[in-house]
Structure 1
């Protein structure tokens, strides 16, 4: 439950219901999580959207070290790639397309080296 002012980067209840089952679970035998995973995600999305530094996260989010302490392991263990794959496939299926793209397009720009 959010007990702070809503940010435009916060995930909605329906988005949370889609994401939550795919997040890593707490390890058995370890300490119980004191911080809401939803608030961790809200802080990560805020940071990514605004481009602020980790240390500059607003004070109404969990402490930046806590947020980064979730972000980095999820990067290393492939959680972000997994979430991206799952939701890319859902969006493509909803649009009536194959889950995997069959072609790609790249754009580049050339610059003269001085």
Structure 2
């Protein structure tokens, strides 16, 4: 398990990570991005609860990684703790995705 030494344990997000709305009209569901790539998101269930989806940058063929959350705040704190624990690996994986992206794939950068 790796950690990002630039962020003290238990406090906020590592450098380069930021929260934003999951989609353009979204007001409550949030995504966690690194270099413009979504790595995690908080989603509302039909019943009003919350769950976190992690490893969102992985290909669709990879396992779906989800975790139930007791509240939005708990889910956000859990995603931030996950990002701190895995920041180095996430940076490497995002950098590799950018290197491997074909120049003529027809996708915008934010669709990786």
Q: How does the TM-score come out when normalised to structure 1?
A: 0.28
Q: TM-score with structure 2 length normalisation?
A: 0.28
RCO higher in 1 or 2 (8 Å CA, sep ≥ 6)? 2
Q: Which has the higher helix share?
A: 1
Instruction: Give the structure with higher Rg (CA).
Output: 1
